Structure 1
C-alpha cells in the first residue's frame, strides 16, 4: 500500500482519532492502525466471510477515504463496491487510477499522510457512527472468526498469537491458512505480517522469515506455511541453519492443497491433483540441523513455541490438522 510505503501510519492515527473514523486496511497494510484500536476493523481483501460484514459497512458510509489504497490486493468482490454518484469518495494515491477497480468523486495524486494532515487542518472533529455500528461490526467479525475451537487452524493461530509477544514478526505463505491468518493475526504495527500480494506466491513465507530475522535479530520471527507450499522450498532450511537464524517455521499439515481442494468441492468437481502424503516435517527440520516437533493439540503447541523462543537454532513445528479443516472458516 502507498500509505505503508510512505510511512503514513502516524497521520492516519491522528486523522482517525480526530474525526472518529473507522479504518479498514488491505491485508498487506495490516497494522497501519493498531488492530486493538477501538476504530480498527482489521484487514480485508482475502476473506469472503469477512466481506459479509465489511462490504455493507463501507457501503453505508457517507464518505469513503481511500488512503494509498491499492485494489490489486483485493478480491474481485471489492471491484466497484461503491458508486461516486451515490457516495462521496476521496482517493489519495501516489499514481493515477489506471486500474478502474473503483472510481472516486475526488482524486489527489499526492503523499497520503501529508494530504490527510492538510484535509484535517483547522477542522474540529465530531463523533460519527453514533449508532454503535463500529462496535457491531467488530462483534460480527469476532463471531465470524472464533478462537475457541479445541484444535484446528484457528486454534493454532490463536495459540501462536497468545504465546508469542507483541513485536513478533510473522510471514504467511499463500493458501487457505493465509486467508484465515489475515483475519485472526492481530498486528500492532505495519509489516508485522508479511505476505505475497496478488500473485499469491507459494513458498514465500520461509525465505521472508529468514530475511526478517537477519534484519531484526532481536525480534521473534515465525513463518506460517501450508505443507504443499513448504515442500516447494524445504531446502531453504539449509539457509536458515547456515545463517544461524533461530526462526520458528510452522507448517499446517493436512496432506492437501487445501484451498484448491476446497474450491474443487464447492464447484462439485472431482478433486484432482490436490492430495498427497503426510510427511514427517519435524524430521526434516532435524535433518537440516534445527529442532523439529509435531503437535496435535494446544498444549503441545504452546510448549513447542516457548522452547523455540529459547532455542539457538531454527525450530520447525508441524501442526497436524484434519483434512477440510478450513470449511466454513474463510
Structure 2
C-alpha cells in the first residue's frame, strides 16, 4: 500500500469518523486514500480555521479526538489559530498538515516554511515524517498525546514526497490510557487537611467535566455542604438551584463570587486550568490549597498547595468520598448568593420584556430541553453568557476561555452537531465573530446538519468599546457596518429572521426549535 493508504488505515484504527479540512496539491494522495474509506468522512470546509474549530468542539462534545487537515504554507497558517485554541482549551485534536517534499527544505522555496517550528509552540507534540515506515508510530503517538491529560493538540507534518511511496506497515494497537490514582496516604492527608479547617470552599474547573467526574463531585459537595464556585468552562457541574452552587467566577470586573472566596480558610481546587484565570487574580489572600487534578500543582505564592491528590479526577474523588468526610456547612456573609443572583441576572424579572441579552438567555433556558448545547463565541456577550446562562448539564455550554478566539461559534456548532446529532445546538455570536466564519454555513447546509444561529447585531466590537470608554472616555477603531443578515441567510438557502423585541425573539426561537431539520439564523437587535 502507498503511505497515505496506510495513514488512513491508522486513522480508522483510532476510531476517526470525520476529518475537517481543505485538500491541496501536497495532500492529493491523502484525499484519494480517504475517498476509499468506508469509515471516515472527509468534510471539506471553506477555511482551515473553521476546520480546526470544528475538530476542537467535536472533540470536546464527542469526548474523542477531533482531526483536521490542511495543505502547506497558507493552509497550515490558517489552521494555526484553531489549533492554538484547542491546545489552550485542553481539547483533543490532531492536525494533519501537508508539506513540500524534503528536497525543497534546504533552500528558499515556493510556499515552504518550517511547519514543525510553526506548530510546536501551540501543540503538545509535533513531528514531521522523515521516513515512510514511521507513519503508524507517528499517528499512534499523536492520538495518545492529544488525549492524555491534560488533553490538547498534536500535529503531524506530511512531506508530499512520501505520500505515494509503497510500504507494508500496519497500524499499531490502540491501548487504553493508564488510569492513575493517588496513594491512600495522600487521600487521608487530604481528609485531615479538610478536617483542620472550618470554612473550606470548592473551586471547580473543566477537568471535572473532561474526566466524567461530575457525579463524584456532586457527592463531595453534598458531603461537605460547603460553597462551590466554578469556572467558565465548568458551567453545568452543579444544578442551577443547588444550595451549594455559588455560580461562576473568573471575570475581569464585578466578580462578586470572589468576596465569598476571601472568607474561606481552605480552597479545594478540583480540575482547574490556570489558563482560565491565574490564581493571583482570585487568591490574593494566599489561602491554603488542596490540589486535586490529573497533574501536579504549579505552585506559587498565590497557589500554596498543602496537599496534592494527583491522578484521574473521577477515581480520586471516589477515594476521597469513601473517607466519610465531616460536614463543613457555612455561607459567605452578606447574603452573597442572593446578591450574585440579582447582579448576574440569574432570576428573570417577572413581566420585564426589555430585549436585553439577559432576557434573551432566560428565554433560551425556558424554551430548550436538557440536551441542548449552546456554543458561545467570544466578545462582550461571552461575559454575559458566563454570568447569566445556566446550562442544564456539563458541556451544555461550550465556551472558549483559553485562547478565546472570535469566530469559533458557527464552525463549532457544526462540530457539536456531528458529535451529538440528536441534541439541539444553538450558537450565539456577535456580528464580528459571525462574519469571520460565516462561510461555514455553506458547509453545514451541504452536510445536512441543522442548528440555530443567534447573531447579536450592534455593528461594533462591544467589549473593546466598553474597555476603551472606561480607559479613554471614547472608543476608536471598533465600529463597522453589517450586511442584512436575514438576506445573507437567504442567500445560503437557510431560514433568516430579524428580532427587534423580546416577543419577536421568543416567537422565532420557538419556530426554530419546532423545525429541527433546518438551519435558522436569528438577527437580533438588542436594546442594551
User: Counterpart in 2 of 1:91?
Assistant: 291
User: Does 2:271 correspond to 1:73?
Assistant: no
Q: Which of 1 and 2 has higher RCO (CA within 8 Å, sep 6+)?
A: 1
Task: Name which of structure 1's ranges 228-237 and 26-35 shifts more when overlaid on structure 2.
Answer: 26-35
Q: 1:15 aligns with which of 206, 220, 224?
A: 220
User: Does 2:245 correspond to 1:245?
Assistant: no
Partners of 1:251 and 1:317 within 8 A in 2 = yes
User: Does 2:318 correspond to 1:114?
Assistant: no
Partners of 1:63 and 1:88 within 8 A in 2 = yes
> 2:369, 2:494 → 1: CA distance?
22
User: Counterpart in 1 of 2:41?
Assistant: none
Partners of 2:262 and 2:283 within 8 A in 1 = no
User: Does 2:335 correspond to 1:136?
Assistant: yes
Question: Gaps (5+ residues) in structure 1?
Answer: 326-330
> 2:267, 2:214 → 1: CA distance?
18
User: Does 2:309 correspond to 1:105?
Assistant: no
Partners of 2:279 and 2:303 within 8 A in 1 = no
> 2:376, 2:464 → 1: CA distance?
17
C-alpha displacement of 1:90:
0.2
User: Does 2:230 correspond to 1:25?
Assistant: yes
C-alpha displacement of 1:154:
1.5
C-alpha displacement of 1:136:
2.4
CA deviation string 1:149-169 (max 9, x = no partner): 511222222222222222210
> 1:167, 1:317 → 2: CA distance?
21
User: What secondary structure does 2:305 align onto?
Assistant: coil
Partners of 1:172 and 1:195 within 8 A in 2 = yes
Q: 1:183 aligns with which of 387, 390, 393?
A: 387
> 1:201, 1:263 → 2: CA distance?
18
* C-alpha spacing 1:76/1:285, structure 2 compared with 1 (3 Å): farther
User: Does 2:524 correspond to 1:319?
Assistant: yes
If you compute each CA radius of gyration, which structure gives the higher value, 1 or 2? 2
Partners of 1:25 and 1:42 within 8 A in 2 = yes
> 1:289, 1:43 → 2: CA distance?
38
C-alpha root-mean-square deviation of aligned residues, in Å?
Answer: 2.0
Note the 1:231-310 alignment, pairs <5 A.
Answer: 231-268=435-472, 270-310=474-514
> 1:135, 1:38 → 2: CA distance?
16
Task: Name which of structure 1's ranges 237-246 and 253-262 shifts more when overlaid on structure 2.
Answer: 237-246
* C-alpha spacing 1:36/1:208, structure 2 compared with 1 (3 Å): farther
User: Counterpart in 2 of 1:38?
Assistant: 243
User: What secondary structure does 2:316 align onto?
Assistant: helix
Partners of 1:174 and 1:225 within 8 A in 2 = yes
Task: Name which of structure 1's ranges 31-40 and 228-237 shifts more when overlaid on structure 2.
Answer: 31-40
User: What secondary structure does 1:10 align onto?
Assistant: helix
